[in-house]
């Protein structure tokens, strides 16, 4: 099947012109007379000619496409980030290739290799929860592949980064729970190796410390796969709910963990917020309609995507090796709904 067979050569043959004349005519070169240009353009349109982008890429040395690596697009946060990325990329004539790691390190490596072997001009990446190191990216970075990290970033590679103010988001959420009268506030979170976990954990701890509330370490539960498997959260909840100093509130990170927590609490007939209050990081548009309406820390997903893409494009377009890098931090917003409202028992 050879789709789109018509080439610049076919036009040249049809009009008895040289290939270069046709090319130049189509690119509106001053070297070509108006008459010939008109002739060529008319012929091109009539034959529905489209320049072969692969040939153009080969000649020009770029592919006009950027690669994206996220954990999963089923997560609304990433879907929103991707929308932001596309909005900027398309405007600049770049298209995007989206890949998903499903939190797996292996898949992350495979996707990155696949993307680079498909020739991308730059990479936007949010690390997988299972990623232990970034050696697979360091080589590429050293070779000069422009990359920008967002959401889950690494300190081991010096480049542009875009993140939410995870510390403050967690601080605000925890403080809100404290202000609402909760004292035994547990935390279910992603693995401790990824950046968002550390930052949010720090915010959580700081809010508790600032309020002078002592919280035992076992109130902090890590989900090895970031909540990919329901059992991770089941285990955490079973543990927490069976403590003799059972928490009266839970602060969760990540969409998946948050929504699974509310699902499981409902299933276990644990009343929210009467038995346990809940505040979680999530970008789902359904927070209002959940049972109960979910208090949530919302991130500016779309804007994160936009900013990261702008930075990536600036790297791609830069004629000089860039050495000054920036980490942009976007604010989060706490939406208070019923799941964290203190009720009289």
Partner DNA sequence: ACTTGTTACTAAAACGATTGCGTAGAAATA
Partner DNA sequence: TATTTCTACGCAATCGTTTTAGTAACAAGT
- 19 or 274: whose CB is closer to DNA? 19
Pick from 48, 214, 244, 269: which binds a second copy (CB under 8 A)?
A: 48
2 binds a second copy (CB under 8 A): yes
323 binds a second copy (CB under 8 A): no
* From DNA, a second copy, none, interface partner of 18 (C-beta below 5 to 8 A by class): DNA
Pick from 42, 106, 245, 288: which binds a second copy (CB under 8 A)?
A: 288
Pick from 12, 40, 85, 145: which binds a second copy (CB under 8 A)?
A: 145
Structure tokens at 282: 């999530």
29 binds a second copy (CB under 8 A): no
Structure tokens at 256: 């998946």
Structure tokens at 286: 């359904």
Within 147-206, the residues that bind a second copy by CB under 8 A are none
Residue 173 and residue 205 in contact, taking contact as beta carbons nearer than 8 Å = no
Within 254-273, the residues that bind a second copy by CB under 8 A are 259, 262-263, 266
Report the nearest approach of a second copy to the CB of residue 238 (Å).
Answer: 19
114 binds a second copy (CB under 8 A): yes
Token pair 């090796």 in the structure block, residue: 321
Q: At what angle do helices 230-241 and 255-267 cross, to 10 degrees?
A: 60
Bridge partners of 329, per DSSP, are 163
295 binds a second copy (CB under 8 A): no
- 13 or 246: whose CB is closer to DNA? 13
Write the CB contacts of 201 (distance below 8 Å, at least 6 apart in sequence).
170, 187, 189, 192, 220
Structure tokens at 68: 């994206």
Residues 81-110: x where in contact with a second copy by CB under 8 A, - otherwise, as a string: -xx--x---x----xxxxxx----------
Report the nearest approach of DNA to the CB of residue 63 (Å).
Answer: 12
Bond into 292 cis (ω within 30): yes
238 binds a second copy (CB under 8 A): no
* From DNA, a second copy, none, interface partner of 26 (C-beta below 5 to 8 A by class): DNA
Pick from 50, 91, 138, 246: which binds a second copy (CB under 8 A)?
A: 50
Q: Count the alpha carbons within 13 Å of 173 in the hemisphere toward its beta carbon.
A: 38
Bridge partners of 280, per DSSP, are 252, 296
Report the nearest approach of a second copy to the CB of residue 153 (Å).
Answer: 21
Number of residues engaging a second copy in binding (CB under 8 A): 64
Q: How far is CA 205 from CA 105, 161, 173, 301, in A?
A: 29, 24, 11, 25
Q: Is 37 helix (H, G, I), strand (E, B) or coil?
A: helix
Pick from 18, 20, 52, 231: which binds a second copy (CB under 8 A)?
A: 52
332 binds a second copy (CB under 8 A): no
Backbone angles phi, psi at 124, to 5 degrees: -115, 125
Nearest partner of 295 among 336, 341, 252, 265, judged by Cα: 336
CA distance 5 to 339: 60
11 binds a second copy (CB under 8 A): no
Token pair 């979170």 in the structure block, residue: 189
What distance, in Å, lies between the first and last C-alpha atoms of the chain?
A: 71
- 55 or 243: whose CB is closer to DNA? 55
- 116 or 341: whose CB is closer to a second copy? 116
Structure tokens at 59: 């000649």
* From a second copy, DNA, none, interface partner of 345 (C-beta below 5 to 8 A by class): none
Bridge partners of 65, per DSSP, are 95
Token pair 């789709």 in the structure block, residue: 3
Residues that bind a second copy (CB under 8 A): 1-4, 48, 50-55, 57-58, 61, 63-65, 72-74, 76, 79-80, 82-83, 86, 90, 95-100, 114-119, 121, 139-140, 143-146, 259, 262-263, 266, 284-286, 288-293, 315-316, 318-319, 321
């Amino acid at each position: 099947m050879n789709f789109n067979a018509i080439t610049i050569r076919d036009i040249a043959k049809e009009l008895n012109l040289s290939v270069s004349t046709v090319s130049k005519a189509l690119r509106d070169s001053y070297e070509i007379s108006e008459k010939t240009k008109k002739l060529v353009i008319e012929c091109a349109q009539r034959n529905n000619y489209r320049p072969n982008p692969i040939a153009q890429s080969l000649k020009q040395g770029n592919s006009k496409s950027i690669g994206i690596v996220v954990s999963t697009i089923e997560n609304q946060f990433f879907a929103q980030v991707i929308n932001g990325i596309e909005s900027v990329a398309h405007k600049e004539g770049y298209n995007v290739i989206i890949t998903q790691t499903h939190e797996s390190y292996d898949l992350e490596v495979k996707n990155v290799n696949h993307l680079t072997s498909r020739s991308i001009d730059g990479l936007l990446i949010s690390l997988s929860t299972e990623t232990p190191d970034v050696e697979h990216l360091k080589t590429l970075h050293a070779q000069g592949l422009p990359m920008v990290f967002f959401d889950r970033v690494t300190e081991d590679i010096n480049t542009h980064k875009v993140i939410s103010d995870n510390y403050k988001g967690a601080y605000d959420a925890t403080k809100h729970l404290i202000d609402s009268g909760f004292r035994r506030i547990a935390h279910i979170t992603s693995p401790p190796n990824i950046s968002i976990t550390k930052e949010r954990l720090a915010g959580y701890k700081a809010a508790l410390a600032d309020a002078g509330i002592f919280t035992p370490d076992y109130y902090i539960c890590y989900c090895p796969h970031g909540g990919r498997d329901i059992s991770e959260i089941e285990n955490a909840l079973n543990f927490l709910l069976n403590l003799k100093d059972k928490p009266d509130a839970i602060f969760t990170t990540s969409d998946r963990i948050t929504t699974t927590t509310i699902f499981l609490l409902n299933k276990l007939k644990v009343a929210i917020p009467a038995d346990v209050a809940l505040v979680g990081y999530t970008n789902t548009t359904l927070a209002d309609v959940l049972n109960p309406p979910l208090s949530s820390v919302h991130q500016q997903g779309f804007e994160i995507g936009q900013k990261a893409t702008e930075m990536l494009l600036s790297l791609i377009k830069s004629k000089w090796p860039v050495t000054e890098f920036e980490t942009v931090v976007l604010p989060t917003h706490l939406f208070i709904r019923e799941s964290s409202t203190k009720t009289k028992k």
